[in-house]
Structures are given as structure tokens and as C-alpha cells.
Amino acid sequence: MMGRADAVLGVAGRIGAAVLLAAFVLFLVAPVVVIVLMSFTDQLYLTFPPTRFALRWYASAWEQSRWLRAAWNSIQIGTATALASVALGTLSALAVTRGGRRWLLPFGSLVVAPMMLPHVIIAIGLYPTMLDLGLSGSYAAVVIGHTVVATPLVFTTVAAALRGYDHALELAARTLGANGWRTFRFVTLPMIAGGLLIGGIFAFAVSFDELMLALFLAGPRTETLPRLLWEHLAQSVTPTIAAVATLILAFTLLLLVAAETLRRRKAVEPPP
């Protein structure tokens, strides 16, 4: 029976949903749209709405070697971060889900802890450490910092993949004559390949967008795109910044779409 109270609740629910949607558009989508639109201006300063469509600020970013170098740094650091976190995340996920030791379970929470910690805290912790190690400002320093925050993502996706199938597959492989390594190589790896790839993409994306750790750990030689953006923002807001931000946005979106496509394909058919 549909009472008055239900009807009132229904209306309230719909109003609530509308408010949420409006807030989402206002605070999340609108700024992005504004930045993207502004990047195509032909003026010397940021204007909104743009008067005429032009690509001059994209060209200008392309011509400045500092932007290019920062982009190349970001790609290198992102790739190294992805590789390192895939290795570490997969190993920890294997230990926690397949180790068969009860004391390993809290270890899982420990691995994902950096996901909850503010990056600035991790940065404050890592900064003196890197100074002591003489790594401050090096690629290694940034990659280590990014790996700390990206590993939880790989851990989570790979652990989910490992929990998603029957452990008996590995036991079967053992009885069929596969030793530990070959069981991993021919059974575990194909089963988690999708999760591993998705985790790797996420790890790359996290590194590519990360600012705080890069501020503390990168040097002039190793500055990343977000760090360079930040530096420019502190001085003046030019349309170049909007152009670079738009490119980063597009690239990140592409990565997310790739990860999502992989995830769906994995849901439909097991990895080859």
C-alpha cells in the first residue's frame, strides 16, 4: 500500500537526487568544461567564454622544451612506477591470499594504508629519507614515492582477481606436475592477467597526476607535469596552463577508458 508518507518520501528522494546531480555538475563537471574551453582561446590571457577557437596555446606549450621535458619525465616515472607497483602489489596480494598464514592477513591492511594517508604526510616522511640516501631530486626518489601510493591499487585489483577464482585450479596444476613457479606462470598469471594490467594502468595514472610527492621529491631535472603546472600557476595563470591541463585530462581519461574496457572484456571472457 502506497501511503502519504511514501509519496512524500518519494518526492523528497527525487529532490535530493536532483540537488546531488546539480552539485556534481557545478563542482566537478563545470570547472573541467571551463578549463577545456579556455584552452582554445586566441587571447593572451584567460577569458571565458572564449571568443574564437584557436590552437595557439597548444602550439606554444609544444614549443617550450620545459613542458616537453616534464611530459617525458612524467611518462618515464609513470612507467617505472607502474612496473614497480605491479611487482610489489602482485607479490603482496599473492602472500595475503595464498600464503595460508593467519599473520599475513593484517599485512593486507598495511599494504593499502598509504591509500588512506594524506600524500603530504608520506612526502614529509620520505623527504629526509631520500636526503639521507642521497637520492633527493632523482628519478628513483619520485618513483619510490609514487610506488608507495600506487601499490595499494595494484594490490587491491590483483587480490580481487585472486579471490575471484577457485584455489583448486592451482592445486590441480600442482598434482598435474607443475612446480611452484610453473603453477604461477601457467595458471595464476593467466588468471590474474586482467587485474594485473588494470592495476598497472591505475598505477601509471596515479603517478601521472600526482603533485604533492613530486613537489617534495623531484628536482629541476626530474620535474613532472603536475609539478611544472603548479609552478606556473604560482606565477600567473596563462592559457598554456589550460592547454596542458586539458592534455593531461584527455590522457588520463584515455587510461581510464582502457582500464574499463579491459575490465568489461575480462567479465565477459576469461583472459586468453
Q: Which residues in this chain contact other proteins in the complex, by CB under 8 A?
A: 165-166, 168-169, 171-179, 182-183, 186-187, 190-191, 270-272
Cα–Cα distance, 96 to 247 (Å, whole number)? 38
Q: What angle in degrees, to the nearest 10, is found between the helix axes of 65-98 and 139-163?
A: 40
Nearest-approach distance from CB 269 to other proteins, in angstroms: 9
Nearer to other proteins, 81 or 188 (CB): 188
Residue 204, Cβ density class (10 Å: 0-12 exposed, 13-18 middle, ≥19 buried): buried
Q: 132 or 166, CB closer to other proteins?
A: 166
Q: Which is nearer to other proteins, 187 or 215 (CB)?
A: 187
Q: How far is the CB of 197 from other proteins (least distance, A)?
A: 14
Rounded least distance, CB 161 to other proteins, Å:
13
The one-letter amino acid at 50? P
| Cβ-Cβ contacts under 8 Å for 197 (sequence gap 6 or more) | 262
Q: Which is nearer to other proteins, 170 or 210 (CB)?
A: 170
| Contact assessment for residue 107 and residue 95, using Cβ atoms and an 8 Å cutoff | yes
Contacts of 35 (CB under 8 A, 6+ apart): 242, 245, 246, 249
CA distances from 145 to 77, 88, 124, 196, 231 (A): 10, 14, 11, 20, 20
Q: How far is the CB of 184 from other proteins (least distance, A)?
A: 12
Instruction: Compute the least distance from the CB of residue 196 to other proteins, in Å.
Output: 14
100 vs 134, beta carbon nearer other proteins? 100
